[in-house]
Structure 1
C-alpha cells in the first residue's frame, strides 16, 4: 500500500489485520470475573494443552463500582463539530474508519488502561472489523510509527465473531505493518497470553462485566517497547526498538478507545464496544478506566486533561461521555451501535 494524504497509519495497520493468517486455536485468553467469589478454577491441564491464560484480573471493590456508576460528566469536544479539521489526517480515513475514544498529545514513555471487554457485532459478510485497545505513536504525517494492543472482532479474518487479543506494530517510513506473529518483530517472552487467542468470558449488557489490563511501556535501558498484561503488569514480550524509524526515545500521541475499519465501516458501520451509546453508563456502555501514562521519570501518572480530547467520527453512531480524572487515572465511556441499530 502507498501512503496517501489520509488514513495511512490506520489503513496500513488494519490491512495487516484483515490479511492476517488464520492461526487456528492459539488458546483462550481468559479474564476473570469481577466478582471475587465467582472466579473460575484453574485448569490443571493448561500447560499440557499449551493453551494461553492471562494473569488474574482484579475485581472491582465497592468504591470503584460506585466510581464507574457515577463518573462526573464533563463536556469533551466532539470531532465532527469542533476538531475535525485539527485532527491528524494520518489517523482518520473517513471513508473506511470510524473511531470513538480519547486522543492524547504529550511526551509518552508508556500507556496503560483497564478495558471493559465486549464482542461488538460485525456483519459476517463484510470485510469490516471492530477493535478496542490502546496505542502509542510518533512521527510526522505519513511516516508514523505505531504500537497497538487490543481485542478485535473480525469475521472475515477468523470465520467467527469472537473477541480476540492482538498486538500490532507499524513503521511508517518503511511502509511496514505486522499483526501478532504474522511476520518477525514482536518477541514473545511469555505464553500466558496467546496472540490471536479468544478473549473470554466477555461482558453481558446489563449483566456481568469483565475487564483486561494492558500496559505498553519503553524500557529506559534497552529502549525496547514492552507489552504487559494483567493487574500485576506481567511482561508478555517486546518490540525491539530497531523495528521503528520515527519513535526515537518516546511516543508523542496516543489513543484509547474503539475503532471500526473496513470497506463499509462508514456506510454500514459495525458496533463499537458494547454496541450502546456512552450515555447509558456502567453495565451497558463500554468503559475504560485507570488510564495512565508513563512520564519522563519512568513513573505511571495521571494524564493531563488539558492535553487530551474526545474524538468521534460520527456522533449519530458512536459517542464518548461521562469521564473523570483522579489519582487512579482517566476514565470514560465510549462506543455505539453504528448502523446495527
Structure 2
C-alpha cells in the first residue's frame, strides 16, 4: 500500500472531526455526540426538562426544526414561581398607552407612504414567526411554548447557568453619566438611553431584524429594549428586556429569535430568558417567545422590522409586553420586582454582543446588520419611533436621549429625528476589522 492510500483514511477522519466540531458550533444539533455526559448529569437535566416542558394539548413542528407545544395557559411555567402561588392570570386587557393625536396622524401618513410593493428597499411589513408558515396555530386558551431539549441545556456551561445572562460584576462600575452597561465582562454595546432617575412607565420602538453572524457558540448578538430601576452598580437592579437575538448557545442555530428577559437582583439568581424559568405570564396563543422571526432584512433590499411595547398597567401594576400593532404577548407580574413595582428610572434601546476574544482577538460577531451606523438605511440596522410612557399612560417621542458605544471602531451608533421616524438611530458594526483588532 502506497503512502497516499495510507493517508486517505487519516485525512477522512480529520475531515469528519473538523466538520462535526464546526456543526456543533454553528447548529448545535445532536450536541451530545461530541462530548461525554455522565448519567447523573443527564438525569438532573431530564428532571429539569420535566419541570419546564409542560404537557401539550397540541404539538406543532416548525419548518426550522423547533417543536412548539400548545400548553393550557393555567399550566404554563410562570405559575410555578413561589411568589405567584396565588396569582390569577389577568384576563381583562390592560389600558394601553394613549397616543397623541399629532403622532397618530404622522404614523398614518408614514404607513400610507410606505405601503407600495416592489424591490426599492422600503419597509414592506412586520416580520412574523417561522412556525406559522404552515398555517398552524395554537387553540384558544393555550399558549405556544418552544420545547426545550437536552441539547439546549448541554450547550450551557451548567444547568444553573442555562437560560441566564452573565451576572454583572459589582466591581465594574459604570461612568456616572452612563447607563447600566459594562464592558469588563465581555459585553459591548451601541445604545441610546434616557437620563437616570426620571420616572418612566414604559417604552416602545420598532426594531429592524437581521441575522448577524456569531463567531463563537457562547457569544450572542441582540437588539432590545431595557426597562430598568434600582442600583446600577449594586445587586438590586430590576430589569425587563425584550427584542430579538441570535444565540447559538441558547437555541442551537443562527436565526434571529424573539426573546424576553427579566431579573430583580442584577442577573444573579432571579430571572431568565423567555419561559425557561417561572415568572413571565403569557396570554397570547399566536406568539411563541424564543421562536425564529421571518422574514428578515436584506442588504440594500427589503427591510423588515418588529414593534415592541413594554408598559406598566396603571391599575394592577403588571408590566405588559405588546408585539406588532395591537397584540398583547403577556406580562411580568408586579410581584416579581422591588423597584419596578413602582416605576422605571431609565430606558435603553440598542444592540449588545458578547466579545469572548477568541484567539486573543476582538470577536468578529456582528451587531445588527454588521454594518456601521454611518451606512444608513438599507445597510445599517435601526431603531425607529423610540418612545417612552409617562405617568398618565401616554406615549411620547423620547427626548434628550444620549448614546453610548464603548468602541466605535468595532460598533457605532448615530441618532437623529424626523417627522416620519420620530427619534431614531442607526447602529451596529462588524466587530473585528483592521481598526478593531
TM-score by length of 2: 0.59
Q: Distance in 1 between matches of 2:242 and 2:409?
A: 27
Does the residue aligned with 1:157 lie in a helix, a strand or coil?
helix
Pair 1:313-2:374 in alignment: no
User: What is the match of residue 432 of structure 2?
Assistant: 339
Residue equivalent to 2:213 = 121
Deviation at 1:206, TM superposition (A): 1.0
Identify the residue that residue 303 of structure 1 maps to in structure 2: 398
Match status 1:46 vs 2:136: yes
Instruction: After superposing the two structures, state which structure 1 stretch, 188-197 or 42-51, moved more.
Output: 42-51
Q: Deviations over 1:149-180 (max 9, x none)?
A: 01100112222110011010001177312111
CA RMSD, Structure 1 to Structure 2 (Å): 3.2
- Give deviations 1:121-153, integer Å, cap 9, x for gaps: 101x43100000111000013211000001100
How far is the alpha carbon of 1:93 from its aligned partner?
3.4
Tell me, yes or no, if the aligned pair for 2:181 and 2:189 is still in contact at 8 Å: no
Secondary structure of the residue aligned to 2:410 is coil
Counterpart of 1:223 (choices 310, 317, 325) is 317
Deviation string, structure 1 residues 193-234 (Cα, Å, up to 9, x no partner) = 1111001111001111001000000000000000000023x1
Deviations 1:285-314 (A, max 9, x none): 001111111011110011122xx2111011
User: Any conservation in 1 of the 2:200–2:344 contact (CA below 8 Å)?
Assistant: yes
SS of residue matched to 1:288? strand
CA displacement at 1:87 relative to structure 2: 4.6
Alignment match, 2:223? 132
Residue 340 of structure 1: how far off its partner (Å): 6.2
8 Å CA contact 1:153–1:161 kept in 2: the answer is: yes
Tell me if structure 1 keeps the 8 A contact 2:355–2:363.
no
Alignment partners' CA distance in 2, 1:95 and 1:278:
24
Structure 1 position 190 matched with structure 2 position 311: no
Which deviates more, 155-164 or 89-98? 89-98
Change (3 A) 1:336 1:44: closer
Highest relative contact order (Cα 8 Å, sep 6+), 1 or 2? 1
Cα 1:159–1:329 shift into 2, 3 Å: same
User: Superposition pairs for residues 250-289 of structure 1, below 5 Å?
Assistant: 250-261=343-354, 263-264=356-357, 267-289=362-384
Equivalent positions of 1:195-214 (< 5 A) are 195-214=289-308
TM-score by length of 1: 0.74
Please tell me whether the aligned partners of residues 130 and 261 of structure 1 are also in contact (alpha carbons under 8 angstroms). Answer: yes
Structure 1: where are the runs of 5+ without partners?
1-18, 28-33, 53-83
Residue number in structure 1 paired with 2:18: none
Q: What is residue 292 of structure 1 aligned with on the other side?
A: 387
* 2:329 aligned with 1:236: yes
CA distance in 1, matches of 2:230, 2:244: 25
- Work out whether residues 257 and 288 of structure 1, in 8 Å CA contact, stay in contact via their aligned partners in 2: yes
SS at match of 2:249: helix
Distance apart, 1:43 and its partner CA: 5.8
3-state SS in 1 of match to 2:335: helix
Aligned length: 283
Structure with more of its chain in helix, by fraction? 2
1: CA distance between counterparts of 2:427 and 2:136?
Answer: 35
Q: Which protein is bigger by CA-based radius of gyration?
A: 2
